[in-house]
Structure 1
């Protein structure tokens, strides 16, 4: 499948098909391999990651020019960090694909998203999430067992960003052979979970694509979905005005489920653009725990 992203200004971008066999994130802190399977649409080409938050090293498996998984060590790029998510990139040569990855970890609950900037009308990308340890649902002190999680979101698009991290090319190099750097999306997330009825829902809001200020990005609703009582995993539809535009999934981790990690895939969701796709992640602390987001400071928490 080949796609082009076209804005109203006829700005042509690179896109691609994705596939692969997703599985729970592989980490230096021993993610449980029995946590469940990440939906294929979300995982995309990404097979897994190895991430060490202490040494800030990231190894990515599955992002390549075909369906054959491979392993690559990415370089830490603090200048590209967004909202507490660490950035890593890789580009082997000036005429080779550039790839951007974002990752965040809260006490062993983590998620990562990876996207190539695109080249020759194709891109590769995907997202994974996982946790260390077993599922430990909270004993809520609120009626109904409701718990909130809030914080930042980061995503990447199948369109070119500012290119500031690209390796230099010889003057006069044709645009047709130059790689691109993926554009990012930032935002905020609120997730509400009911651990009595085992249902989760939420929203990604205040969304912004810094490289495309002319675009107005809609909120992405995370439709109500079941929480697996054994694994603490969930997946459901991403919607705009009750119309499905993609899929999201995630996992609760930590003592009393003090964090949640998740990822989403959305397409056809930005007005003024054709064939756009977005992959993003959220790793959020529970409201009432250390590091909680300012949104949690409510009169009736």
Structure 2
């Protein structure tokens, strides 16, 4: 739990778009979802503490299209589908929104999910409560279908490109368009905030050969509710790829370390990659206390991505 930074943000509208089921359900009858209406996925896979934040596990109930997040305030409450807050990238990719607010003076929570080729990632954050503190974190995983891409001779490929879009959440107040209305005369200090979102693009290079390394950049970054704010690129410092397709590395702005990233390649031939990010003290307009958690699920340029920044000669 961390202090919520009550920044003033300018309201801004972004077109919303609905989508399909962002989860990889496997009909796990033993899942404790907090609901007895369905049996679904427990996505309690191991995520490094460097990016997990307050999140412990995530459960999905397909019959209700709701999720339950353990570790965030109010465990075992239903986050319900909220298509009005979906974020759609330039390539048509959609991060689907789920939200929860118990009543008008309780914290508002926002979660974003995306799934592709058996990999998924999630970012969640609550706005401030009466004490001025909030909770946030990320989660990612896959169905375990990863195999490294190979050339015609069966040798692992190097310099494989991935491109797509990104969603992040800040400990900064957004426009508040999804907050429940408070009663007239409510003390301003008791009115909660809705967290601000960051959108952007992601480009990753992966070498599945001898080096087994990954690096990349999160760029074209915009605070949706405060688009005039200058937001630096996040550089994903080179790190190794494990034999199971997982990775964990450092995030930099310029030469300064500002956080961590982690994730997993997924699909036959590593057709996609899902990952999450933590960064702090990286947006100068918001001061040193700013915190961002984010997620990306993007496709391989040669097979599954339609992003405009994919190289045409790959």
TM-score after normalising by structure 2: 0.82
Partner residue of 1:166? Answer: 179
Listed one character per residue, the Cα deviations across residues 129-183 of structure 1 (whole Å, up to 9, x for unaligned) are 0000243111146995221110000000001111110111111211111111110
Q: For residue 293 of structure 1, report the CA deviation from its aligned partner.
A: 1.7
CA distance in 2, matches of 1:2, 1:74: 21
Instruction: In structure 2, list runs of 5 or more residues that go unmatched.
Output: 10-22, 29-40, 89-93
Residues 32 and 132 of structure 1 are in contact (CA less than 8 Å); yes or no, is this contact kept in structure 2?
no
- Which digits, 9 at most, give the CA deviation of each residue in 1:277-299, with x for residues without a partner? 00000000111224432222x34
Distance 1:110 1:4, change over 3 A: closer
Cα distance in 1 for residues equivalent to 2:109 and 2:237: 30
- Displacement of 1:213 after TM fit? 2.6
Deviation for aligned residue 1:72: 2.4
| Equivalent of 2:217 in 203, 208, 222 | 203
How many angstroms does 1:51 deviate by?
Answer: 3.6
Q: Find the aligned partners of 1:53 and 1:177 in 2 and give their Cα distance.
A: 34
CA 1:107–1:143: 2 relative to 1, 3 Å: closer
SS of the aligned residue for 1:204 comes to: strand
Deviation for aligned residue 1:50: 2.2
- The change in CA–CA distance for 1:38 and 1:55 in structure 2 (over 3 A counts) is same
Match of 2:82 among 70, 77, 99: 77
Corresponding position of 1:139: 150
Residue 188 (structure 1) shift = 0.2
Once the two structures are superposed, what CA deviation does each residue of 1:25-69 show, in whole Å capped at 9, x if it has no partner? x9623789897x32213101111112468974322221117xxxx
Match of 2:238 in 1: 224
Partner of 1:5: 5
Residues 100 and 110 in structure 2, CA contact (< 8 A), matched pair in contact too: yes
- What is the TM-score when the length of structure 1 is the normalising length? 0.85
Partner of 1:237: 250
Q: Tell me the residue number matched to 2:265.
A: 252
In structure 1, distance between residues paired with 2:65 and 2:258 = 34
The 8 Å contact of residues 53 and 105 in structure 1, kept in 2 or not, is answered as no
Alignment of 1:1-301 (within 5 A): 3=3, 5=5, 11=8, 28-29=25-26, 37-51=46-60, 56-64=65-73, 70-83=75-88, 84-119=94-129, 120-140=131-151, 145-196=158-209, 197-229=211-243, 231-274=244-287, 275-296=289-310, 298-301=311-314
